[in-house]
Chains A and B, each alone.
Chain A
């Protein structure tokens, strides 16, 4: 059973600036990730979504400001101790040639192993649990590059699960998946959040999926936060116009009751 991780780690960005050696992509951004919830980062292309996620995951060192994990600057913490609290699924990761599903998932145990340490019982249990939660127990002996897109994405989620971090960051986990696999993926994340109390932070392209699955939305435009809060409170036609430059009508989703954005037609 999952260990008791009641409050969850606290992750916040404070007056964060980040860039890739040129103009700042994220500008003076202050945000707090609510523990135990699902946060979706949304915004137009090049609005700084992935950059913010990369900074939160300490993959990108801020040029100014900082990201704090449980009160400490994340860039000053030993990388292993961050890895024990914070898992990541990057955009379209690549599996080594011929690697088997179980072997990939086992590699997620790295932060829990010591230099001379043996593979422990805890390691084995974590791998089994990750395979079962993602429905991959039957496919454990298959090569990752032979799997379908949806199965492959599940294998990576399983690897991140085996890492056993109470918080998971995901960069567009539904890219390259058809709609059925997208829903399957997001349902899986929702279940992990509900049953294991894992904090989930993800960049999502689809606004309606973000509204449906996230309890907290961070909407970015031009590297700054336009709005942050519960989808039902912050997602309005006016916000979408500001963030995406698109006129929409916001209705209540007939299935979940969350906000649903229906774009108007452009007049050509």
Chain B
């Protein structure tokens, strides 16, 4: 437990450090002292606009979205007992994206994006849940159905992109890669509300998930009602993914990767490990966004490109180990 506590402290320190770097660097560098002063107390500063309208909300959105994605991934991986599962792989993100692209394509204002994405994510989750239900519920079936739904929704998105005027859907195409570049305080508020409800719920579900990981028979024997518990975990997991996707777009690999890293560092699922997962999610998204902004500056990449570049090789590494173990 002390090890997990130490890792959590280190991750929290990492978040603070990265957040400060996020305030300082950019096309218009701000000295560290002024950056912190402007963000925390000095509203009259000459850097007020750069810091408080552009960089600070972006840093906050990166932290909150990273937490949402990582916790969501941890819930799904524990529920399905498969380390290769995450909301982006079973189609939740794509569902959110399809709705969001549809909203942009028909010409609605971008402020409807988070709501459309949320509706898409929840709708997709419901669809997968219904399609994979057969006298009960199996994790393996859910994954296969999810992959199928994912493919179908990808086709829908492609259709929308081809069918509708380019100037509308180009915004959608960019959003689809996952980006934090237009993050506002409104986005941060949306995420904070989702987080305030869903993250405590995730922690309350941990005890039951730890028992569900022992298999259906043992979980029933220990007094876990399987179907309601699964429904609860899926609802919270989808809600977290939907909140994040609605704001930053379908940012891949954070949900898949971060729970792995947390488990490798701190061991089997517990409240402490979930906390570490949340913090590491923030670390990953903050650093990915910094790299995305600065690597080819002044050209800015979508953060999703960087998380994919970090996540792809790791996924291959995990697959390799997984194959050897099987």
Contact = CB atoms under 8 A, between A and B. Distances in A.
Interface of A: 21, 54, 57-59, 79-84, 86-88, 90, 93-100, 103-104, 107-108, 110-111, 113, 115-116, 159, 163, 169
A93 B218 contact: yes
B181 interface: no
Contact of A83 (B204, B222, B267): B222
Given A93-B215, A96-B214, A107-B211, A83 B221 contact: yes
A81 to B, nearest CB: 8
A113 B206 CA distance: 13
Contacts, number: 76
A185 B215 CA distance: 22
B134 to A, nearest CB: 11
B210 A82 contact: no
Nearest to B221: A88
B263 A93 contact: no
A96 B222 contact: no
Contacts of B222: 83, 107-108, 110-111, 163
Contact of A88 (B218, B268, B270): B218
B218 A79 contact: no
B211 A110 contact: yes
Closest 7 CB pairs of A and B: A83-B223, A88-B221, A80-B223, A90-B217, A99-B268, A111-B223, A96-B213
5 contacts: A57-B220, A90-B221, A96-B214, A98-B263, A100-B267
A95 B263 contact: no
What bracket does the count of chain B residues touching chain A fall in? 20 to 34
Interface in B247-270: 263, 267-270
Contacts of A111: 222-223
B83 interface: yes
A251 B81 CA distance: 49
B163 interface: no
B247 to A, nearest CB: 30
Nearest to B325: A97
A113 B215 CA distance: 19
B186 interface: no
Given A90-B217, A111-B223, 14 more contacts: A79-B223, A80-B223, A82-B223, A83-B221, A83-B222, A93-B214, A99-B268, A103-B268, A107-B210, A107-B222, A110-B224, A115-B204, A159-B214, A163-B221
A59 B213 contact: no
Contact of A79 (B210, B217, B224, B269): B224
Interface in B215-232: 215, 217-218, 220-225
B168 interface: no
B135 interface: yes
